[in-house]
Amino acid sequence: MVFSSNLFVFLFLPLFLAGYYLTPARWRNVTILLGSYVFYAWWRPDFLLLFVAITLWNYGFALAVHRYRGQRRGLYWLAVGVAGDLAALGYFKYANFGVEAISELLVAVGLNPFYLETIILPLGISFYTFQAMAYLVDVYRGDARPTRSFINFAAFIAFFPQLIAGPILRYRNLEKQFEHRTHSMELFSLGASRFLLGFIKKVLIADSIAPVAGYLMATPEPGFIDGVFAVVISTLQLYFDFSGYSDMAIGLGMMMGFRFPENFNQPFVCQSVTEFWQRWHITLSQWLRDYLYRPLKKTLHWPVAAATFTTLSLAGLWHGADLAFLLWGAAIGAMMVVERRLGWVTGMSTPYSVWKNYRALAYLWFIWPLFLTGNMADAWRIMAGLLGMNGWGSLHNLSLWVSPMTLCFCALAFFWDRVSAFYNKRFYLGLDKGNVFQAVSGWRVPLLWAGFVLAVTRLSAESFSPFLYFQF
């Protein structure tokens, strides 16, 4: 089950919200847990057992870590707990990749390869294992106290709004909200509006431009123009798809009284690669900073450059088990090191410069095929086009079969991305200190509902609209 489906919007969500608000306040976390398990089991009931096992594993180890915190035994329990999480993630996500690499080496030296039955990747395992590991580390550091309520912890791990593709949450930030939270029509209305916005971004924009992105990315020998349009349109598709999911997740949380951290902040207005990483998939970059980069730099005393490059390389590998993802992360890390040396690093408050913006985007767009394709052969095919190795190219064939409406959505996506740099950020950041309806009042309300109706109409025609991060 995915958010962008009629089943979820018109059946699961209304039934869940009705059950949630009819449940007495003290039992609402139980409703969240049961509803989340139903949501997860809808795809593969058997993987629910793995999900529950990881929840029990981390709940128990957190209590042990806290009991012996400050002692050598506490570090031992932490290491075993994290190792168990990494083992589960490594097996399901990287076993096939490792076996293929070893088999290629065996063939290269004249030996017979061996094979492993294809392993299905459980939904959301990359996200909920990171949340579980962060919980263990926070308990060890003293940044969080282990909860005695298994229901609260299980509901946190299974919380369906962010289960499949984030934002990556931390228990220490939501602990008080699981114990007590305030519900109001204002917060519910803002959450509903945020959900509608994400639904529109995903179904009406991302899915509408997907055929153009797919056609351009599949061009056998793309020229320069083909390559540029392929990367730009595919990048916009991914952004509206992924940020749309995050908007829906944040909105669903608000509808239940929760406030989640933001996951995107206008990433393509960045003026350096470093700033891009601060704006794109924010909860992942912050997780890597706190649980990988800082331990490498402060505990192991690695140089800043080495810690940065290693962290971003592993971030790339986290996105997928392929050399292309590893090189994408390494390229991000290498440029961040270069920017630091040259003084090119910019931040959120840096005055906007068109030159700096497009300088950063040129580099990001050139390496983006590594991420978009997920394999070296296809990535190099697109990158060769960007280098002009196949001539200038032409979009003539595309114009012959793509409808004017689809091209309009491509233009809308680009316009939305460019104009967002100068738009009121409170629209994206949700609650502010002023009027809670400021982001969704006036002309925006009928516009949101009109967009939602159009998105539902499109979804009904397509029948299924998976997220690009659906099985990740």
Alpha helix positions (H), 256-322: 273-279, 282-288, 294, 304-319
> Are 438 and 272 a contacting pair, CB within 8 Å?
no
DSSP 176-218: HHHH-----HHHHHHHHHHHHHHHIIIIIIIHHHHHHHHHHHT
| Distance from C-alpha of 98 to C-alpha of 322, rounded to nearest angstrom | 10
| Residue bearing tokens 């590893």 | 326
Q: Which residue has the tokens 């392993």?
A: 119
User: Please, which contacts does 350-357 make with residues 24 or more away whose CB atoms are closer than 8 Å?
Assistant: 350/271, 350/275, 352/269, 352/271, 352/421, 353/271, 356/271, 356/272, 357/269, 357/270, 357/271
Amino acid at the residue 208: S
Separation in Å, CA 393 to CA 203, 388, 396, 402: 30, 9, 9, 17
Q: At what angle do helices 150-158 and 47-67 cross, to 10 degrees?
A: 130
Query: CA 4 → CA 196, 200, 214, 360, 401, distances in Å?
Result: 11, 9, 20, 32, 26
Tokens 């990556």 appear where? 168
Which amino acid type is present at position 128? Y
Tokens of 43: 């795809």
Catalytic residue among 180, 281, 319, 396: 319
Cα Rg of the chain (Å, integer): 23
Answer whether the bond into residue 167 is a cis peptide, omega within 30°.
Answer: yes
Ramachandran region, residue 124 (left: φ > 0; alpha: ψ -120 to 50; beta: rest) = left
Catalytic site residue 319?
yes
Task: Give the helix/strand (H/E) hosting 289.
Answer: none
The token pair that represents 402 in the structure block:
């793509």
> Which phi and psi (to 5°) does residue 123 adopt?
-60, 130
- With residue 24 as reference, give the H or E element that holds it: none
Evaluate whether 164 touches 40 at the Cβ level (below 8 Å): no
Query: 208: closest CA among 243, 237, 235, 239?
Result: 237
Mutual angle of helices 125-141 and 171-179, in 10-degree steps: 90
Give the residue numbers marked as catalytic.
319
